[in-house]
Every structure is written in structure tokens, then in C-alpha cells.
Amino acid sequence: MRLPHLVWQRREVVLFAAAALLLAIGGLLWLMDARTAATAVWVAATLIGLAHSTVTLVAAARRRQPSVDVIAWLALAGALVVGEAFAGAVIAVMLASGALLEARAAARARRELSLLAARAPRTARRYGPDGLVEVAVGEVVPGDRLLVGSGEIVPVDGRLLGAATFDESALSGEGLPVERRAGEDVRSGVINAGHPVDLVATVPAAASTYAGVVRLVEQAQADSAPFVRTADRVAVAFVPLTLILAGVAWAATGEAVRAVAVLVVATPCPLLLAAPIAIMSGLSRAARVGVVIKGGASLERLAAGRVLLFDKTGTLTHGRPTLADVVTAGRLDADELLRLAGSLDQASAHVLAAAIVSAARGRGLMLQAPDEVREEHGYGLRGVVDGREVRLGKASWLVPEPAPAWAQRVRHRADLDGSLAVYVAVDGELAGALLFEDPVRADAPRMVRALRAAGIKRIVLVTGDRAEIAETVGRIVGVDAVEADRDPAEKLAIVKAEQAAAPTIMVGDGINDAPALAAAGAGVALAARGATASAEAADVVLTVDRVDALADAILISRRARRIAWQAVFAGMGLALAAMVAAAAGLLPPAAGATLQEIIDVAAIGIALTALLPARAYTAAMTPADVATARRLYAQHESVRPLVEQIRAVADDLSPTHRDAEPVRELLGRLESDLLAHERAEEAELVPILAKTLGGADPTGAISRTHAEIEHYVRRLRRALDGAGTAEVTDLRRLLYGLYAILRLHNAQEEEAAFSLVPEPVAKAPRR
């Protein structure tokens, strides 16, 4: 019983293997001059194709769907009638290969929920009379007290018994960790990013948030209408035309051979072979730019999209916290504060620890192994680094009341920017703060512009994040509308509403996006950092960590679809002309079969042009230019702390604090480090960018800001050389102006230049 079941499950593979093998055997026999045996083998291949085509047609008729297999069935039968066994065997192989591709697409649909199911917790740790007991998650009932360890997924919705930190990006789209207080509700599917925490289950697992997301995916997939292939749409018109023409030729002359001749030249190879070749060529070209499109139907849906919906976290932003600034209280400089924090956080599993350690190492700081490390649950971390006591954590733990002026500014800035502040105390005194944000991808604004150029008419940002943060990101990248504070069900409703007006493309990377991805015309998932449920539910997967590849994928898909139509219309147009000639008695079956092969070759030749290089929106640099850009990017990163120091020095200046010495020290570094870097970029990066992007003046804005930066530094030098203590206001104005220009300039360079460089340079730019 096992073997027949396995054969049935792999019937498309068996069909293709049998048809191809018989075609090859027949060819060998023909070359060995065993013509009769060769014909018999080819007839067998044709009969296999005819049987499969008959089964497919019956199934399509039951579903009341059009099918190009009608033409294939007629062509196979006609080939047998007129004795064109070789042509019939070739058609059988083409039919089998199409069936194999269709089977692979269907298998993908059945796998879409596999990762969601695999990620779902199977067990939970429940407190009982005998202590902690591991039980199946289905046995959890409301009122049970559960323990969720560090890094574990919350198994059911519940209420916290203590403060905790969660990574909620999978459900809410929020890229930064979220602090939850005792008594707050927490949803299943989020990850405990802090210390172990207890919670009380409020609903059973089947009614929890995570189970609801899985049901939404199932519902969205069930509601999705089947996509009608290009070949099937052509077949709707071509099949009746073929039958009518053959019938008229037979009825008008009484010669059945004319009807057979019409059917022979109507062999639909442009539909069965040329169109799939163009589509597969598009899939191949998309894969070269890091985009996996899951089959021809997915490519056509991507090409048809006119409305594009984006999730924010991990899509338009990086989806992980990044150090934005180091603010010091004056006792330590920024590098030393970051070095101490990074050294201590080497011993922490907190979600922000990796960002702190990475930032410290990125600045070339030498980290030391910490001693006496202890976690203060719900507050932070403490330990000893180089003999100094260091504490990292929340303001409520470290910041005294009333808070110092600089700490108040940090709080205000964090609220204004939507960032997260981690405070640092050294030897019992508050020493500074680290600010984190989820930065916009440097290539996102250019990608949005490219999408509009590629034919996208409307772009919508749909996110579970807060409205003020979502609107900021929306303004930066240039979307048409922002839908914030949306849960998975609301995202699904928005996609359905947009889909009712125009074909949609949905882009996301989290579990919260999976229902919307499944419901959209084409779902696009970013999976560069590993497989996710969104990648399983999507039609298109970006395997590179750069969203501008999506514009290239849309351009490639539209070009492949256009070439497929060209191949279809050219091939079927020539076939139609041959059919008319055959109906008029000008083309006998044998000659018609030969002519049809020529038409097929011509159509395939058109289809193969989809493999040729074409215009792309993602510009490519030469290897030498990439090396230069990477060297300049390293310098670009090295001066970033200096840029942030400009703001810190300006903040410290006031009518009551007029010491200009910090300004003089800063100016020395600006002249020696910053200006040298900007001049190197003007001399080396600007020519590379002009050559790569082309156009009238692609580097004008960058060159202009280079000049403006130098102008501000020179003005600052003149102000200091002739300034007294009464000119603090002018110094602050110049410093803030220079800071603003540098921030804008860095964003310009990261978007226009460094985001074009292959990884790792363009991997994680910050705004």
C-alpha cells in the first residue's frame, strides 16, 4: 500500500519522467534506423500525455475553469491521427513539465502554515501543588499560573504577576523591546526578552492571540480567488476559434484531412512552452537580485500589482534596536561611557545588550570581561568593569529626582523621537544615557520612488506601531497613507479593502503580517535574517537585506510577463495564419507539422529574450568602486560620534555656562577629521556615484552639502577666533546648524550612495 500511495503523491514527477524517457528512447531508436520501433515508443509517450490531458480536462470541467489543456488534447489527438508521433511525444513532455511546475506551486500552498505551527509552543510550565510541571499547552485553562523563561514564547494570553520585557515585533510590529508592568496583559506569540516572569492565563490556548493569527492565515488563503494563468486566458478565445475553423473546413469541403491539418498547426507550444520559458526566465533573473518568486502565478500577480502596502518594522525600518546617541553627564566622554556599558552587557542576554556591545565594538573600543555581574529583575544590570561599579537600566532605578537638566532633555528627546533610553551609572553616580531607535532603511526612500516609476499608483504604510512613529517613517519614505495601531485582523481588513479597488502587493516580515500577505494579490516577505511565517505565507521572498530589490523584482516580473504575451501573440498569431491556410487546403498536415515546429522555435526565441539583461532600478558598482565605497563608509561610521558630539557641546552652552574651550576642542577634531573625510568623499565617492547612477546631475545635492559643511566649520573658526563670552548664542546657532546639515547630509549619502554597496556595508545604515 505504501508504494502506490507514494507514486500517486508524486504522479507529476512520474508523468514527466516517463514522457521524457520515452521521447529520448524513441530518438535513440530513430538514430539507430529502427523507425518503426521509434514511432511506437513516441506513440506511447503521446498516449500518456493524452491520458493525463483527459484527466486534467475532466477536473477543470468540474471546477468550471478554462484550461489550455483543451488545445493540448486536440494537438495530441491530431498528431496521432496524422501519424506525427514525434510531435505528439514532444507535446506530451511539454505538458508533463507544466504539470510538474503546477504541482510544486500547490505543494508550497500546503506548506504555508508549517512554520506557524512549528513555532507555536507545545508545552507550558504550570505551577501546581508539587511545584512546576510541564504540561501540554492545550491543557492550560484560565487561572493557571505559568512561568515563562528568558527567550521563551508566551504560550497563552495572560496577565503578568511581575514587570517584564518582551519582544513583541512578531505581533505588533514594534521593533524595540516593550516594558510591561505587573497586572498588564500579555499576548501569546511574543518573546520574553528579559528575566523569567510569572503570569496567570486569562484564556485557553485555542482562544489566544497566536492561535487567532493562524486562523486568520487559513481564512485569508481560503478567501483568495484562484489566479487564472495567461495561457488559460488566451485559451478561452483560442480553443473555440480552433474548433470552429476546423469544423468549418471539414463541413465546407467534406475533407477530414483539412480539419486534422488545422488541429496540427494549432499545437499550442507558444502557450505550453514559450510563455512558461519567459516566466521562468523572469524567475531566474529575479533570483539573481536576491528575490525568490514562488512560481509563474506569483510572478504574474506581482506584475499586476498597482497598490502596495508596507509593514513598518523590519520592512521600511531595520526591525532591531540601534544605538542612536550617547549622552554624557560630563564626568566621562561618550566612548568611555559606551565602553563600560558594552563591557558589562557582554554578560547579559537582554535584547538591547547585543546592540550596545555591537555599537561599542563598531567604534573600535576595547571591551573588558565584567565581574560580579548581577541582574536586578525588572530594573537592569550591575557589575564591576576595570574596578568600577557600573549599572545599566531604567530611569526609575538610576535617575534621581529631581532629574538633572541633561537627563530631562534625554527624556524629552526619547519621547519626541520615539526612541528608548538606557541610563548608565558609574561608581554610584549617574554618568549618562544611551538612546536607541529602530532606524529607517537607507534604501527605503529610493525604493519607494522606484516603485512609483515601476507603475505602483498607491503606497500605504500599515503597522501595529504607534501613530506618531508610523507617520514619521511615512513622511521620510514618501507613502500616500499611514494606517497605524493595527492588529493582524485590521491589517487583513485593510488589504481586502484595497484589493477590492485594485490589485495589491503586501510587504512584511513578521507573524503579524502573515494573514495580510496571504490575502493580498501578491505577498512579499523579507527573510534575509532567517525563515519566518511571513516567508511561508508570501508569494515572493526577498533573501537580501535590502528592500530596493523589490523594485527590481516588479520591473523584472512585468518585463517577463510582457515578453510572455509577446511570445504568445506572435506564436499563436502565426499559428492562426497557418490554420487559415490549412483550412483553405494550402497546407497539408505534414507540411503543417513542419511549419508549426518553425513557429514554435520562433516563439521560444522571443521568450528567451527575457533572460537578457535589462534596465534595473538597483544600480550596480564595479568591484573597485565597491572597495572604495566600503573604505569611505568605514570613515563615515568613524566620524558619526563626532557628529553627535556637536549637539552635546551645543546643549552644554548657555548664558550661565560660557566656557568655549569644549567648542575649541571640538573644532580641532572637525577640521582634522570631519573635513578630511568630506573632502575625500567629494574627490572619490561623488565620481563613483555619478558614474553608477548616471542622469543629468545625480550628485549635485551631495556636493552642495559638502560645501555647506566646510562653510559652517570655517564660520565656526572665525567666530571662535574673534569671539568673547558674550557670543555664546552665535556659537550655539552655528553648532546646531552644522549638526542639522550633517544629519541631513549623512542620510543623503546613506540613501544615495552607501545603500548601493553590497553587504555588509549597506547592511545596517542608520538615519
- The one-letter amino acid code at 625 reads D
Sheet holding 131-136, edge to edge: 131-136, 123-128, 145-148, 197-201, 158-160, 185-186
How far, in Å, CA of 639 to CA of 679, rounded?
A: 13
What is the DSSP secondary structure assignment for residue 191, as one 8-state letter? E
Question: Does 4 have pLDDT greater than 50?
Answer: no
- The one-letter amino acid code at 95 reads L
What is the DSSP secondary structure assignment for residue 11, as one 8-state letter? H
| Per-residue pLDDT reduced to its tens digit, 414-462 | 887 778 889 999 998 999 999 988 888 887 888 888 888 878 899 999 9
- C-alpha grid cell for residue 411? 527624556
311 annotated active-site: yes
- Predicted pLDDT of residue 569: 83
- The angle at the Cα of 442, spanning 437 to 448, to the nearest 5 degrees, equals 115
DSSP secondary structure, 482-504, as one string: EE-S--HHHHHHHHHHHHHHS-E
| Per-residue pLDDT reduced to its tens digit, 55-69 | 888 887 787 766 666
Which residues lie closer than 8 Å to 303 by C-beta, 6 or more apart? 554, 557, 558, 560, 561
- Residue 200 has φ and ψ, to the nearest 5°, of -110, 125
Residue 531: pLDDT band by 50, 70, 90 thresholds? very low
| Per-residue pLDDT reduced to its tens digit, 224-245 | 444 445 566 666 677 788 878 8
CA atoms within 13 A on the CB side of 169: 23
**Superfamily per CATH, domain 322-437:** Calcium-transporting ATPase, cytoplasmic domain N (3.40.1110.10)
Residue 202: pLDDT band by 50, 70, 90 thresholds? confident
Given a contact cutoff of 8 angstroms between Cβ atoms, the answer to whether 379 and 348 are in contact is: no
How far, in Å, CA of 355 to CA of 175, rounded?
A: 13
Buried b vs exposed e over 156-174: b needs ≥16 C-beta within 10 Å?
A: bbbebeebbbbbbbbbbbb
Residue whose cell numbers read 526609575: 396
pTM for this predicted structure: 0.66
CA atoms within 13 A on the CB side of 671: 12
**Per-domain residue ranges of the chain:** 1-111, 122-207, 322-437, 623-756
Torsion of CA 486, 489, 492, 494, to 10 degrees: -50
Length of the chain: 767
Query: What is the average pLDDT across 205-219?
Result: 67
Greatest C-alpha distance within the chain: 111
Buried b vs exposed e over 378-401: b needs ≥16 C-beta within 10 Å?
A: bbbbbbebeeebbbbbbbeebbee
DSSP SS3 for 716: helix
How far apart are the two ends of the chain, measured CA to CA in Å?
Answer: 62
Helix or strand run (H / E) with residue 291: strand 291-293
| Per-residue pLDDT reduced to its tens digit, 679-722 | 999 999 888 888 887 766 777 888 889 999 999 999 888 888 76
Higher-confidence position of 599 and 619: 599
- Residue 462 has φ and ψ, to the nearest 5°, of -120, 115
Which residues lie closer than 8 Å to 424 by C-beta, 6 or more apart? 337, 340, 341, 390, 391, 392, 398, 430, 431, 432, 433, 434
- Computed over every residue of the chain, the mean pLDDT equals 80
Q: Percentage of residues in the chain with pLDDT exceeding 70?
A: 82
- Predicted pLDDT of residue 323: 87
Q: Which of 281, 342, 363 is nearest to 642 (CA)?
A: 363
Which residues lie closer than 8 Å to 108 by C-beta, 6 or more apart? 294, 295
Beta strands 481-483 and 458-462: pairing type?
A: parallel
Query: From the centroid of its chain, how far is CA 622?
Result: 25
- C-alpha grid cell for residue 250? 471539414
- C-alpha grid cell for residue 462? 500599515
- Predicted pLDDT of residue 318: 79
Fold agreement (122-207, 322-437): no
CA atoms within 13 A on the CB side of 743: 13
- C-alpha grid cell for residue 37? 520501433
Query: From the centroid of its chain, how far is CA 158?
Result: 32
In sequence order, what are the beta bridge partners of 440?
317
Helix or strand run (H / E) with residue 39: helix 35-63
Which residues lie closer than 8 Å to 92 by C-beta, 6 or more apart? 19, 22, 23, 45, 46, 48, 49, 50, 52, 76
Question: Does 116 have pLDDT greater than 70?
Answer: no
Q: Which of 60, 49, 66 is nearest to 15 (CA)?
A: 49
Catalytic residue among 311, 539, 552, 600: 311
- Predicted pLDDT of residue 281: 80
What's the fold here for domain 122-207?
A: 2.70.150
What is the DSSP secondary structure assignment for residue 541, as one 8-state letter? E
How far, in Å, CA of 748 to CA of 752, rounded?
A: 6
Indicate the burial class of 500 (C-beta count within 10 angstroms; 0-12, 13-18, 19 or more).
Answer: exposed
- Residue 676 has φ and ψ, to the nearest 5°, of -60, -40
How far, in Å, CA of 184 to CA of 323, rounded?
A: 28
Interhelix angle 549-583/256-265, rounded to 10 degrees, is 160
DSSP SS3 for 188: coil
